[in-house]
């Protein structure tokens, strides 16, 4: 229990589902209110700005498609972070794993440009997963065998992965016709994910949804998922039950890296059609926020990723009006900040309680 | 002795969300008197003392010191009023010396610490109350009994006229406890008021001048020394006649199922914790291990359950050697484990009853189906456990965190005994449980014994060990001292062994 003036903050006895839904709705309302204040203070119409953002993100088929395009890589990286976090592993390296996945998929695309599409694309998905998993394997093994913090190792490997792709597109994979730009050759038709109608929305989105279902089922109804949940809640209990902790650390890191790797494949094959240094707008890092907002559950990650995608698309649209990018970023930041703060409201309650001290019941009175 | 009590509590009410911990409790504490506060776990003893020491504020009622009402806003106020408390879990800085701990936070130095003077003051105080402890020793080097003396010194140094001791003998050997009670009587003779919080009846009889019994947050009885016998006090405390006496086992002894031979192991800190321990447990036998905590009990339990590796020696279960530290190997060999921290390792607080029920069965049919967990079979197993052991749970999907201690232990026992274990390692199985929970646990252990399990019962509670086990051994300093058949054990002798005497 904490006291701030007359306000008392205390944990909710039982985190209720209705309370957590309500907390999120309140958070969205608060966030929009704060955003409106910021916009009005900057001399822009909040109403018009919100309308612009809404139209760009949801108003019609094309807008919705753009939102889902932006959400696709975030679903993958969000799942990657969330899955590892269920076992209390913090994979900060989804960004690097994404780059490695992209590189591995591209390598296949360049090596077998004329392979049939139905063969090449699934192979590229697998290659992306393997690339990402390989990049996470080192941190996983080090954590399992020597207890080296995976937070540090995965983070540092991000820079290595990004520089590695830099090297590839400046060197061996550079397109001779790119007139000096660090770009690879474009992919051939059979290495490109099909898209829906004339939108940019591609099959990668469906793969992302499929991955979410797989992660959900894995955690919920497999023995492996059960072990992950037990280990995440209590390592002593897992050891007591004879669960293989080390092996599971490595396997979870591999799965997590694999998910992030597919994000890379999906971006190069679905959006960029080649490999270049700016294939990711920090998707790996944003995935951490998406996973947190989604409370580390697969369905939660999908919802959070779509909201995040909408915020991005809306933000771009706002920048094309007279609102400066900095205000847009402040607005996005404020919304996120409040949304994360709402997490606390779902788990704690704030009570008005001037003066009279009321104490919290001891959990186990008089037990040693 | 004056007529005005040193401290008086009148009609203290303390509510917590969902329960009333103190419901109009009255208490009069006089100088020069040892007052025992008797009650079961959860009777509200500790809450009452937390009110008295300023940690909690009462919802109703008054506290009077020397006859005038006071209102404590913080523990500091209570200390200023001369009320000191020695908590069950000591609040000492292990790396500092005795004198530093006593002076810490109280002695306010100007520029120089005045270390010499401080040491002298502490030494004088220790001598006056015959609390033998070296002021310059570091706390981590001290025995538990000595650490307790430091806590008492701390309270006295702060000018306590009323000293509250919370379950002071819980961590002591019988001999150390005897020494403590001598100190307590000495302090009372010097005019201090003493409160001893306890649920041990023999202690009450040994030391108390006046007794107050609490049950469910209310006064249910008061007596002066010698007015009530132990049986009457127990009835007041529990509210009914209880019998934790166990009928002797009728189980026939079978073959040796658990054999530990010359086993040595190190503690988490890498120090030798178990030295050359050899013991045999037969089918249908409960082998009791007594001893003060921290003398290798944990390590012994862990080598048998595959959680700790052996340095030398061996552990065999039913003729099969347990190799390396493999909890999985022990489980597969038929070793069940009722661990010390039931909610830390035996059960997973944040997971549901169902998930906890399958903690050991999830690898085998019918719960396991290839790589999958069969949700329906898991639920069925959980429901069976709840029904068979009368566990009250909100639902099988609710996290077990919400269950009471007794229900948790019942669930754990249901799971651990479900597969007719060959060996059961039970560590402090009734610690912190109320009378009802204790009865269940002891009954289940007895039933398992009759069904032919070999049981290793590790407990600090001598009465429990004597009620259930035969033979009884004592662990001290990692060595198993004197394994005695039940009929020749007495508390005195076990106590000496616990304190390190050689048989």
The DSSP secondary-structure symbol of A176 reads G
Contacts of B170 in chain A (CB under 8 A): 368
Q: Do A240 and B337 touch (CB under 8 A)?
A: yes
Looking at the partner chain, which of B42, B337, B371 has a beta carbon nearest the beta carbon of A366? B42
Q: Determine the residue of chain A that is closest to B350 in CA distance.
A: A233
Give the one of A224, A241, A359 whose C-beta lies nearest to B327's C-beta. A241
* Cβ–Cβ gap A362/B167 under 8 Å: no
Interface residue B373 vs chain A (CB under 8 A): yes
Asked if B17 reaches chain A (Cβ–Cβ under 8 Å), the answer is yes
The answer to whether A221 faces chain B, any CB pair under 8 Å, is yes
Q: What is the spatial distance between Cα B496 and Cα B98, in angstroms, rounded to a whole number?
A: 27
CA of A339 vs chain B CAs: smallest distance (Å): 24
Chain A residues lying within 8 Å of B432, measured CB to CB: 364, 366-368
Which of A201-215, B202-216, B241-255 is predicted with the least confidence, judged by mean pLDDT?
Answer: B241-255
In 3D, which of B498, B484, B475, B483 has the Cα closest to residue B265?
Answer: B475
Q: Tell me whether A117 touches chain B (CB under 8 Å).
A: no
Q: Please list, in sequence order, all residues whose beta carbon lies within 8 angstroms of the beta carbon of residue B20, skipping any fewer than 6 positions away.
A: B13, B14, B217
Contacts of B47 in chain A (CB under 8 A): 362, 365
pLDDT at residue A365 is higher than 60: no
Q: Strand pairing of B472-476 and B286-290?
A: parallel
User: Which of chain B's residues have a Cβ under 8 Å away from the Cβ of A239?
Assistant: 307, 327, 345
Residue A206 scores a pLDDT above 70 = yes
Q: Report chain A residues whose CB lies below 8 A from the CB of B41.
A: 365-367
- pLDDT for the residue numbered A128: 97
Q: What is the pLDDT of residue B44?
A: 82
Query: To the nearest whole angstrom, how far is the Cα of B437 from the nearest Cα of chain A?
Result: 14
Closest partner residue to B350 (CB to CB) among A222, A233, A241 is A233
In which band, very low, low, confident or very high, does the pLDDT at B242 lie, cut at 50, 70 and 90?
A: low
The percent of residues in chain B predicted with pLDDT above 70, rounded, is 94
Q: Which residue has the higher pLDDT, B61 or A6?
A: B61
Alpha-carbon span B156 to B163, nearest angstrom: 8
Answer whether residue B224 shows pLDDT above 60: yes
* CA B93 vs CA A3, B114, B123, B137, B148: distances in Å: 28, 19, 19, 12, 13
Nearest to B307 among A229, A240, A367 (CB): A240
Token pair 């600090």 is at which residue? B460
pTM of the model: 0.75
- Spell out which residues of chain A touch residue B56, defining contact as CB-CB under 8 Å: 359
CB contact under 8 A, B431 and A368: yes
- This complex has an ipTM of 0.81
Note the pLDDT of residue B109.
56
Judge: A241–B359 Cβ closer than 8 Å, yes or no.
yes
Q: What element of type H or E holds A9? A: strand A7-11
Phi, psi (degrees; rounded to nearest 5) at B432: 75, 0
Distance from CA of B30 to the nearest CA of A (A): 25
Q: Do A223 and B368 touch (CB under 8 A)?
A: yes
Share of chain B above pLDDT 90, in %: 33
Classify burial at B138, counting beta carbons within 10 Å of its beta carbon; exposed 0-12, middle 13-18, buried 19 or more. Answer: middle
Question: Inter-chain contact B373–A362, Cβ cutoff 8 Å?
Answer: no
How far apart (Å, rounded) are the C-alpha atoms in residues A262 and A269?
10
Average the pLDDT over B16-22 and give the result. Answer: 75
Provide, as residue numbers in chain B, all residues whose Cβ is less than 8 Å from the Cβ of A244.
328
> Mean of the per-residue pLDDT values for chain A?
87
Give the whole-angstrom CA distance, residue A323 versus residue B229: 85
Q: Do A368 and B167 touch (CB under 8 A)?
A: yes
A363 has pLDDT over 50:
no
Q: What is the pLDDT of residue A358?
A: 46
B394 near A CB under 8 A: no
Chain A interface mutation, best of B20, B345, B416, highest count of A Cβ atoms under 10 Å: B345
Per-residue confidence band for B401, with pLDDT thresholds at 50, 70 and 90: confident
Instruction: Express each pLDDT in B81-139 by its tens digit.
Output: 899 898 877 888 888 888 888 888 766 655 556 678 788 888 888 888 888 888 888 88
Most A-contacting residue of B171, B354, B359 (CB-CB within 10 A), to test interface: B359
**pLDDT: is B270 or B243 the higher one?**
B270
* pLDDT tens figures, B244-300: 566 777 778 899 999 999 999 998 878 888 999 999 999 999 999 987 777 888 899
Q: Are B215 and B38 in contact (CB under 8 A)?
A: no
Residues in chain B: 503
- Using CA atoms, how far residue B483 sits from A274, B460, B476, in Å, is 77, 16, 12
Q: List, in order, residues 6 or more apart from B299 with CB less than 8 Å away.
A: B265, B266, B267, B273, B274, B308, B478
Q: Give residue-wise pLDDT tens across range A272-283.
A: 999 999 999 899
CB contact A177 to B (< 8 Å): no
Q: Chain A residues with CB inside 8 Å of B405's CB?
A: 364, 367
Q: Do B375 and A230 touch (CB under 8 A)?
A: no
Share of chain A above pLDDT 90, in %: 63
Tell whether A223 lies on the interface with B, counting CB pairs under 8 A.
yes
Per-residue model confidence (pLDDT) at position B76: 85
State the Cα–Cα distance between residues B414 and B412, nearest whole angstrom: 5
B329 and chain A in contact, CB less than 8 A: yes
Mean pLDDT of chain B: 86
Higher pLDDT, A333 or A365: A333
Contact check, Cβ <8 Å, B16/A361: yes
* pLDDT at site B422: 95
Cβ separation of B47 and A365 shorter than 8 Å?
Answer: yes
Q: Categorize the per-residue pLDDT at B423 as very low, low, confident or very high, splitting at 50, 70 and 90.
A: very high
What pLDDT score does B244 carry?
54
Q: What is the pLDDT of residue B230?
A: 75
Check CB contact of A362 with chain B, cutoff 8 Å: yes
What was the pLDDT predicted at B373?
94
Predicted pLDDT of residue A16: 60
Per-residue pLDDT at B17 exceeds 70: no
pLDDT at B166: 87
Question: What is A16-39 written as a DSSP string?
Answer: -HHHHHHHHHHHHHHHHHHHHHHH
User: B1 pLDDT exceeds 60?
Assistant: no
What whole-number percentage of chain A has pLDDT above 70?
88
pLDDT band at A167 (very low <50, low <70, confident <90, very high): very high
Confidence band for A202, pLDDT divided at 50, 70 and 90 = very high
Chain B residue numbers with beta carbons less than 8 Å from the beta carbon of A13 are: 17-18
Shortest CB distance from B327 goes to which of A13, A222, A240? Answer: A240
User: Across-strand partners of B97?
Assistant: B138
User: What is each CA distance from B191 to A352, B124, B223, in whole angstroms?
Assistant: 46, 18, 21
pLDDT tier, A360 (very low <50, low <70, confident <90, very high otherwise) = very low
Q: Is B58 on the interface with A (CB under 8 A)?
A: no
Residue numbers of A between 228 and 257 with CB closer than 8 Å to B: 229-230, 233-234, 236-237, 239-244
Interchain CB contact of B372 with A (< 8 Å): yes
Contact by Cβ (8 Å): B20, B14: yes
> What CA–CA distance (Å, rounded) separates A82 from A78?
6
Distance CA B462, CA B428 (A): 11
Considering only CB atoms, A223 lies closest to which of B45, B307, B372, namely: B372
pLDDT, position A160:
97
- Work out the average pLDDT over B473-483: 87
C-alpha radius of gyration, chain B, whole number = 25
Q: What is the rounded distance in angstroms from the CA atom of residue B292 to the CA atom of residue B275?
A: 16
């Amino acid at each position: 229990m904490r006291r701030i003036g007359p306000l008392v903050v205390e944990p909710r006895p039982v985190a209720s589902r209705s309370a957590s839904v309500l907390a999120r709705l309140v958070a969205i309302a608060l966030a929009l209110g704060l955003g409106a204040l910021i916009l009005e203070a900057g001399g822009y119409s909040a109403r018009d700005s919100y309308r612009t953002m809404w139209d760009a993100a949801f108003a019609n088929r094309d807008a919705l498609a753009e939102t889902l395009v932006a959400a696709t890589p975030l679903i993958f990286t969000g799942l990657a972070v969330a899955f590892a976090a269920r076992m209390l592993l913090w994979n900060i390296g989804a960004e690097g794993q994404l780059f490695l996945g992209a590189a591995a998929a591209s390598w296949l695309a360049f090596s077998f440009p004329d392979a049939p599409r139905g063969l090449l694309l699934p192979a590229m998905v697998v290659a992306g997963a393997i690339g990402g998993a390989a990049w996470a394997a080192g941190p996983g093994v080090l954590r399992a065998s020597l207890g080296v913090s995976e937070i540090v190792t995965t983070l540092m490997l991000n820079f290595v992965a990004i520089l590695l792709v830099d090297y590839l597109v400046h060197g061996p994979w550079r397109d001779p016709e790119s007139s000096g730009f660090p770009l690879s050759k474009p992919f051939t038709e059979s290495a490109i994910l099909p898209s829906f109608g004339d939108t940019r929305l591609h099959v990668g989105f469906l793969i992302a949804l499929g991955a979410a279902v797989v992660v959900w089922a894995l955690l919920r109804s497999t023995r492996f998922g059960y072990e992950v949940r037990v280990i995440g809640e209590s390592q002593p209990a897992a050891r007591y039950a004879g669960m293989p902790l080390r092996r599971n650390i490595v396997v979870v890191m591999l799965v997590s890296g694999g998910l992030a790797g597919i994000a890379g494949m999906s971006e190069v094959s679905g959006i960029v059609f080649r490999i270049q240094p700016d294939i990711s707008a920090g998707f790996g890092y944003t995935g951490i926020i998406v996973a947190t907002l989604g409370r580390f559950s697969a369905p939660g990650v999908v919802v959070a990723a779509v909201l995040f995608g909408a915020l991005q698309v809306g933000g771009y649209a706002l920048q094309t009006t007279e609102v400066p990018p900095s205000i847009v970023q402040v607005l996005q930041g404020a919304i996120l900040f409040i949304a994360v703060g709402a997490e606390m409201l779902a788990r704690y309650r704030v009570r008005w309680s001037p003066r009279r001290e009321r104490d919290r019941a001891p959990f186990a009175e008089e037990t040693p | 002795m004056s007529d005005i009590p040193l401290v008086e509590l009148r009609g203290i009410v303390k509510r917590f969300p969902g329960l009333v911990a103190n419901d109009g409790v009255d208490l009069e504490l006089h100088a020069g008197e040892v007052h025992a506060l008797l009650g079961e776990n959860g009777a509200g003893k500790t809450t009452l003392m937390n009110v008295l020491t300023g940690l909690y504020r009462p919802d109703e009622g008054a506290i009077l010191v020397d006859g005038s009402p006071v209102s404590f806003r913080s523990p500091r106020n209570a200390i200023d009023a001369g009320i000191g408390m020695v908590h069950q879990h000591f609040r000492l800085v292990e790396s500092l010396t005795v004198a530093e701990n006593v002076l810490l936070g109280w002695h306010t130095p100007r520029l120089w610490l005045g270390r010499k003077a401080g040491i002298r003051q502490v030494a004088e105080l220790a001598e006056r109350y015959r609390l033998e402890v070296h002021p310059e020793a570091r706390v981590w080097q001290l025995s538990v009994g000595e650490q307790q003396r430091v806590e008492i010194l701390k309270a006295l140094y702060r000018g306590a006229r009323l000293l509250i001791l919370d379950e002071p003998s819980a961590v002591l050997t019988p001999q150390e406890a005897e020494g403590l009670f001598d100190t307590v009587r000495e302090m009372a003779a010097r005019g201090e008021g003493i409160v001893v919080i306890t649920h041990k009846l023999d202690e009450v009889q040994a030391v108390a001048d006046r007794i107050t019994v609490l049950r469910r947050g209310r006064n249910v009885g008061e007596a002066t020394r010698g007015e009530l016998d132990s049986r009457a006090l127990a009835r007041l405390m529990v509210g009914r006649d209880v019998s934790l006496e166990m009928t002797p086992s009728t189980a026939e002894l079978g073959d040796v199922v658990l054999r530990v031979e010359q086993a040595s192991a190190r503690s988490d800190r890498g120090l030798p914790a178990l030295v050359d321990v050899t013991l045999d447990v037969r089918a249908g036998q409960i082998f009791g291990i007594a001893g003060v905590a921290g003398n290798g009990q944990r390590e012994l339990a862990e080598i048998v359950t595959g959680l700790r590796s052996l340095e030398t020696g061996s552990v065999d279960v039913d003729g099969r050697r347990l190799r390396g530290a493999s909890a999985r190997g022990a489980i597969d060999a038929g070793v069940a484990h009722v661990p010390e921290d039931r909610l830390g390792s035996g059960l997973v607080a944040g997971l549901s009853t169902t998930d906890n029920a399958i903690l050991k069965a999830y690898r085998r049919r019918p719960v396991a189906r290839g790589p999958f967990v069969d949700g329906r079979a898991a639920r069925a197993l959980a429901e069976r456990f709840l029904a068979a052991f009368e566990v009250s749970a909100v639902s099988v999907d609710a996290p077990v965190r919400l269950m009471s201690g007794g229900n948790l232990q019942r669930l754990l026992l249901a799971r651990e005994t479900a597969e007719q274990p060959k060996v059961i390692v039970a560590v402090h199985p009734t610690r912190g449980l109320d009378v009802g929970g204790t009865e269940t646990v002891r009954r289940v252990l007895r039933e398992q014994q009759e069904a032919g399990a070999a049981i290793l019962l590790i407990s600090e509670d001598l009465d429990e060990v004597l009620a259930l086990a035969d033979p009884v051994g004592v662990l001290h300093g990692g060595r198993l001292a004197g394994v005695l058949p039940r009929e020749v054990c007495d508390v005195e002798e076990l106590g000496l062994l616990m304190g390190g005497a050689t048989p």
